[in-house]
Amino acid sequence: MKLSVVACIFTVLLFVHCQSQELAIRQADRVSISSGHWKLGKKGHRINPAHSVKNNPFAIGRYEVTNAEFEKFVKATGYITVAEKDHNAQVYCDSLGEFIWCTDTAASWRFPQGKQFAYYTHRLNEPVTCICFDDAIAYCQWAGVRLPTLDEWEIAARAGSRGTWFFGNRFDSIVRYGNCWHARSHYKPDSSDGYPFTAPVGKYLPNDWGLYDMYGNVFEFCADKPAIFASHPEWASARGGSWWCSKYSCNFVNSVDIGRVHRRASFSNLGFRVVYEKMKSEI
């Protein structure tokens, strides 16, 4: 009888412990940001001029959405991405000039660099790519989350800083904080940091608020567009730069710049992170 009581108590304690661990994990995948007044943009910037905002509280993912997370969505819904239907994903090709990408009819989130490279199951902890803006919205609707606004993304990326980068004023420090291109040209792949394309999320140092890969790895879709893009309903906005960006070309790995892409275009350097319902502040 005593043994049965002890066993029951142990079972209850184990259940409570597991639930607490699950809650801790769920909280650990996001950072809650309180309401505040922020100075964003940059004086004289054509697309993102200096401006002040007051935000509502929000919680943003610590990491970019991974292949493993996107796989759960696809298995649950049977969703087929635009690149899988239209066979028009854009991937990196060597021996070409700057800003020239190749259309790979076989590439998709499952084969983000084409079928000559690894299947996504070998990259489960890397950010999902070769998805377009419309695919990201479909994922968010299923998961009960949303994309960050431009201002929310910038507040999160800056982590209270005011400069071009949250880590200071020297671009060269990016090597510690983000996966980007280090060679002078894109004529051949750059593997100098061990990652010619995407890297596992969280591989580099976070910003002061504990957010990883805000710069580099993949451009991240945002929910809205700057005013200067308003006359182009076919465009979507993306921020933070990617593994393809360098100080010599596509230098978007910063807190200021805002990129644009067709909302149904799928590139192997485009992904997203999400915003959750408001949670208790962790910063």
Domain locations along the chain: 2-276
Place 226 in a pLDDT band, splitting at 50, 70 and 90.
very high
Give 219's strand partners.
Answer: 270
Q: Above 80 in pLDDT, residue 174?
A: yes
Torsion angles phi and psi, residue 173, rounded to 5: -70, -10
Which pLDDT score is estimated for 120? 77
- Give residue 136's identity as a one-letter amino acid code: A
Torsion over CA: 121, 127, 131, 136 (sign): positive
pLDDT for position 109: 95
For 17-45, what is the mean pLDDT? Answer: 72
Average pLDDT over residues 261-266: 97
Q: What mean pLDDT value characterizes the chain?
A: 86
Give CA–CA dist 186/269, Å, rounded: 14
Nearest to 33 by CA among 136, 149, 178, 169: 149
Identity (one letter) of the amino acid at 119?
Y
- Mean pLDDT over 107-129 rounds to 86
User: With 60 as the cut, is the pLDDT of residue 114 above it?
Assistant: yes
- Which of 130-144, 163-177, 254-268 has the weakest average pLDDT? 163-177
Report whether pLDDT(24) > 70. Answer: no
pLDDT at residue 18 greater than cutoff 70: no
Pairing state between β 102-104 and 259-262: unpaired
- The rounded distance, in Å, linking the Cα atoms of 6 and 126 is 44
Name the residue with higher pLDDT: 2 or 99: 99
Quickly state the pLDDT bin for 16 (edges 50, 70, 90): very low
The yes or no reply on domain 2-276 and CATH 3.30.1460.30 is no
Interior CA angle at 181 toward 99 and 48, to 5°?
65
Number of H helices, E strands in the chain: 6, 11
- Minimal CA–CA distance to 116: which of 128, 126, 102? 102
Mean pLDDT along residues 97-107: 85
More confident residue, 8 or 49: 49
pLDDT at 119: 66
CB 118 within 8 A of CB 128: no
Cβ-in-10-Å burial (0-12, 13-18, 19+) of 33 comes to: buried
Nearest to 168 by CA among 155, 159, 180: 159
Please return the burial class of 243, using the count of CB atoms within 10 Å of its CB with bins 0-12, 13-18 and 19+: buried
pLDDT tens-digit profile of 125-151? 999 999 999 999 999 999 999 999 999
In DSSP terms, which residues pair with 275 in a beta bridge? 60, 146
pLDDT value for 27 = 58
